Structure 1
Amino acid sequence: MSARTSLHLAAEIGGPPHYDAGHYLRLARLAEDGALDYVTLGDSFARPGLDALAVLARVAPATDRIGLVPTVTTTHTEPFHVSSAVATLDWVSRGRAGWSADVSTTEAEARLFGRRAAAPPAALWQEAGEVADVSGRLWDSWEDDAEIRDTATGRFIDRDKLHYVDFRGSAFTVKGPA
């Protein structure tokens, strides 16, 4: 018996920056009509243009089934914010979000933020892996039935169904829960 593998087809809908949402909507709908599985949208602190994650959040309600995978640069971005932003895209898209992690290696990009100097790529990729790890932990830090919303008792959440992440990485710590 042979193992079956799935082939997933995608299209990158980037290119030169556009400041018209219709451009990205047309490309995502074309990909969806063409039976592609997902679209990607590249991003970088070094290029002008809109934030890929925000653009795909705009595309999400106007598409039905295609996956939406923005590039999210983890360098200079707090892991808690990365986790929240990707979770929001997943919510807006009704479960169709993914993300492609990237790192920012140049001193020019580091100066945009002014928090730290550029680091070696190996260290940045290690940090990106830690951001992915802690994001998953944050997403799992609330059990599905943690929200009570009982107005009669004034209880909004069941605190026993919230879990601290207590993550300590090479460049950051996250207490959690999300």
Structure 2
Amino acid sequence: MPEPHKPTTLHLAAALSAPGAPRPYTAADWTRRVRLAEDGALDFVTLTDAFGERGPDALQALTVTAPATARVGLVPAVTTTHTEPFHLQAAVATLDWVSGGRAGWLPAVSTTEAEARLFGRRPVAPAAALWHEAAEVAEAAGRLWDSWEDDAEIRDLATGRFVDRDKLHYADYTGRTFSVRGPSIVPRPPQGRPVVVADTASPHARDLAARHADVALIHAQGPAAARA
């Protein structure tokens, strides 16, 4: 007997921004866009970002839309270059809490000297090194989200205890360019680990996608290119 046909589930997403397009500044404008995607039954929205791009921070912009939406996933681009992994994971965890478990994040890197000069910490690194660092940030973020056990919060008003300290753990992650001890300052996100969405346009990003991504975005003109 042949195998019965299994229905395929199609997941749809929308990008809220295009390169060079003007970015809204008001909460109402961002909320309108995200609610339109939600009303259209899309699974999630993405919002690109870069240090050299003018406009509100992508993660903060989508955090504003969370209380006004109920189902659609919120996936901002978060640049891992020139930023602190500890602060990055706390911000993404906060988005997951504010949205009720609908957060994702799209790791991005900063590749230009102009962006490096904004921070003044170090010169721009080769693309391979930047994406290797991004993968390490994804690993460190996951460990920090796991640093709180699911039932670590006590919230006992009678004793004044908010958390069971025995259920918080050090992340103790060391990468090439940073180290993080932890634990996180934000309780474990509702999803445990917010969804990682990787854009594989850069060949150097594909290792991160293979090891850490829940969703991989591919750029292909046909089935053969998609398979490759």
Partner Cα separation in structure 2 for residue 21 and residue 151 of structure 1: 35
SS in 2 for 1:99: strand
* Letter aligned with residue 74 of structure 2: L
Where does 1:117-136 land on structure 2 (aligned, <5 Å)? 117-136=123-142
Q: Which amino acid in 2 is paired with 1:172? A: F
2:168 to 153, 162, 175: 162
Q: Distance in 2 between matches of 1:6 and 1:41?
A: 24
Q: How far 1:153 moved relative to its partner? A: 4.1
Residue in 2 that maps onto 1:63: 69
From 114, 127, 141, the counterpart of 1:108 = 114
Matched with 2:85 is 79
Please give the per-residue CA displacement for 1:15-73, whole angstroms capped at 9, x wherever unaligned. 31211222211111111111111111110101100000000000111011000000000
Equivalent-residue separation in structure 1 for 2:68 and 2:109 (angstroms) = 29
Pairwise CA distance, 1:6: 3.1
AA of the residue aligned to 1:12: A
Amino acid at match of 1:7: L
Task: Give unmatched runs, 5+ long, in structure 2.
Answer: 185-228
Matches within 5 A, 1:1-178: 1=3, 5-14=8-17, 15-178=21-184
2-structure distance, mates of 1:156, 1:87 = 18
- Find the aligned partners of 1:16 and 1:32 in 2 and give their Cα distance: 22
Q: Identity of counterpart residues, as a percentage? A: 67
DSSP-derived class of the 2:104 partner: coil
Structure 1 portions without partners, runs of 5+: none
> d(CA) in 1 for partners of 2:67 and 2:105?
18
Give secondary structure in 2 for the equivalent of 1:39. Answer: strand
Aligned twin of 2:220: none
Residues 4 and 135 of structure 1: is their aligned pair in 2 closer, same or farther, counting only changes over 3 Å?
Answer: farther
In 2 relative to 1, CA 37–154 (structure 1 residues): closer, same or farther, beyond 3 Å?
closer
| TM-superposed deviation, 1:5 | 4.6
- CA distance, structure 2, for counterparts of residue 149 and residue 97 of structure 1: 24
Q: Deviations over 1:140-174 (max 9, x none)?
A: 10112112233444443222211111100011000
Runs of 4 or more off by more than 6 Å in structure 1? none
TM-score relative to the length of structure 1 = 0.94
